[in-house]
Structure 1
Amino acid sequence: MLRFMPVGDSMTIGSSGEHTWRYRMWQHLCATYGGPFRIVGPREALHDKMTDTPTSYAYADPDFPRAHLAGWGEGWLHMAPLITETVRTHRADVLLVSLGLIDLGFYTDADQTAENVRHFVAGARLGNPRVHMVLLPVIPNIRAESDASFAAQVTRFNELLAKTAADLDEPRSPLLLASPPTSYDIHRDTYDGTHPNESGEHRIAAAFADTMHQAWGLGEPYSRL
């Protein structure tokens, strides 16, 4: 049985009333994978914006495996120290990782963030030497439209992420860089310039699904765009 673990920030945990891209990915895997699988992770809740805490279970459709390792305001900096024990405990086989925007926005510059990616990858492999990882580049948000220095950091980090993925890829523990979500438009695919709405959820899920299909022959291409 293949065990998938979504890892991410606010775009992955989602907030009250949302489906999340995790839900879209689960639907896709159910329809196309063709084998037993599980969604795993230590957390299940959404972020509650009213209380600013990860305590909501008000999913648009709660009837799906809601496990994840994601948090509002958390990035590579926060997940790297957690990943070894989390991968080991939940026996994760495939990590679907969407991190970096919050790091660049509040905590670390592009080079420091890329160094934390390396710590994360090393930690994940301590938890499971054969773990597979798919890394999503940072999607520039509305801040990048008006803040040139932030936009430059996003571009720089995505270049470093691609180099890191190439440098650290190895046969027993493949490391894939996903392509950016197809035709993603923050004015159409988000509700606030950062967080995905329904179409954005599908596009993020598609980026992961299509990468795994192309590289590993896993499932089928994503069809709900």
Structure 2
Amino acid sequence: MIVGDSISHGAEGDYTWRYRIWQWLQSNNVPVDFVGPYKGTNPPDDITPPSPPSTEPRTFGGYALDAEPFDSDHFAVWGRQAAQDKDQIAAHITTYMPDHLLIELGFNDLGWFVSGPEGTLESMKSLVDNARAVKPDLKFAIANVPQRSHLGGRDDLPIITDQYNELLVKAIPEWSTDISPIKLVKFREEYSCEPEACPAGYDGLHPNALGEYEIARAFSIALQPDYAPGGSSLAVPAVIPPRPCPAPVNVKATTGSGSVIVTWDGVYGAFNYDVQTRVGADGAWTDPSTLSSAPRWEYWPVTDGMTYAYRLRAGCGDALRSEWSEVVSVVAHA
């Protein structure tokens, strides 16, 4: 069972590293059954009006369109912390009785002020203990925490990330037992992401297609002696095709009471959208504004009788944008 946060959960249109490790296991003829309460990725934002937040994780997003069907069961949720999962893990071990836990957690504990290095280590130890209380012979592969591109106001993050990773290296041999061994997964070392640059991430942290391979490779190195003796760890391809990122289509602009509403067909796998506005026939395009992943935007205030034009492009990562859509315009009614 894979236990993780957004890095393991993935967003709609991702392959995910879970898919890549499944491929590696298949290539080594390992009869593996992934288990867990969820199957999908994180879907795009809703376009419905705001409503009270749901306690159920959003895990119904799809995978890359050319990914072959795979055993996608998992226990990975966007935003999840070790501090949360330590209290939930026993119930899922009871339900699914996995033989092996692959754990990728800790960034949110450190990154969102949940706990420092020592507290995050305590949460991870509690997770291990609570899982073992249900299944004493459970095997573990626990990943350390990656670096990310520089986050404003968090100059401490690279420091405490390395401090946690150092503590984890020392703790794992102490936690490991003969019947319940623990392997360290060197996620941080295999992942091409540093405060200065993050070629493995589409937003400075979350894995793009390269990053998915690199995380899967890190886990394969830890698992190879048990799962593929005589085989080799996963190799990262030399050439990785870019994420598909077509321009939005079916863009429409309608005028309402004091505003203009722009809608379009969502681009599968887009993380967000950029929009530009032009006011009047001779106006200049505004600088792009980045929107959420919901295919709807409302612009206000507007001037009665004025013509407003709009165009959009899909955002498929920091460095990947689609071409601009066709321009649509509307005469506003205030």
Shared fold, TM over 0.5: yes
The aligned counterpart of 2:331 is none
Match of 2:42 among 33, 36, 47: 47
Q: Which moved further from structure 2: 199-208 or 160-169?
A: 160-169
TM-score, normalised relative to structure 2? 0.62
Superposed counterparts of 1:92-111, under 5 Å: 92-106=98-112, 107-111=114-118
Superposed counterparts of 1:165-180, under 5 Å: 165-180=172-187
The aligned counterpart of 1:86 is 92
Pick the structure with more helix per residue: 1
Q: Secondary structure at the match of 1:37?
A: coil
> 2: distance between equivalents of 1:82 and 1:39?
18
> 1: distance between equivalents of 2:43 and 2:98?
27
Deviation at 1:116, TM superposition (A): 0.5
> 1: distance between equivalents of 2:27 and 2:188?
20
How big is the alpha-carbon RMSD for the aligned residues of Structure 1 and Structure 2?
A: 2.0
> 2: distance between equivalents of 1:146 and 1:222?
36
**Is the 8 Å Cα contact of residues 38 and 59 (structure 2) preserved in structure 1?**
no
> 1: distance between equivalents of 2:186 and 2:100?
17
Question: Are 1:11 and 2:22 counterparts?
Answer: no
> 2: distance between equivalents of 1:212 and 1:64?
19
Superposed counterparts of 1:1-225, under 5 Å: 5-32=1-28, 34-51=29-46, 54-60=58-64, 61=67, 63-106=69-112, 107-143=114-150, 147-180=154-187, 183-186=190-193, 187-214=198-225, 218=229, 220-225=232-237
> Of the two structures, which has the highest relative contact order with CA contacts closer than 8 Å and spacing of 6 or more?
1
- Structure 2 residues without counterparts, runs of 5 or longer: 47-52, 238-334
Deviation at 1:65, TM superposition (A): 1.1
Deviation at 1:88, TM superposition (A): 2.1
Deviation at 1:46, TM superposition (A): 1.1
The aligned counterpart of 2:289 is none
Deviation at 1:15, TM superposition (A): 0.7
Deviation at 1:146, TM superposition (A): 7.0
Per-residue displacement from partner, 1:71-90 (whole Å, max 9, x unpaired)? 11101011111111211211
**Is the 8 Å Cα contact of residues 15 and 56 (structure 1) preserved in structure 2?**
no
Deviation at 1:138, TM superposition (A): 0.2
- 2:199 alignment partner AA: R
The structure with the larger Rg is: 2
TM-score, normalised relative to structure 1? 0.90
- 2:201 alignment partner AA: T
> 2: distance between equivalents of 1:49 and 1:163?
40
Change (3 A) 1:182 1:222: farther
- 1:111 alignment partner AA: E
Per-residue displacement from partner, 1:169-203 (whole Å, max 9, x unpaired)? 11100011112355532321110000001110001
Q: Which moved further from structure 2: 170-179 or 41-50?
A: 41-50
> 1: distance between equivalents of 2:132 and 2:189?
30
Aligned residues: 220
- 1:6 alignment partner AA: I
Deviation at 1:153, TM superposition (A): 1.0
Change (3 A) 1:89 1:200: same
> 1: distance between equivalents of 2:80 and 2:190?
26
> 1: distance between equivalents of 2:150 and 2:107?
10
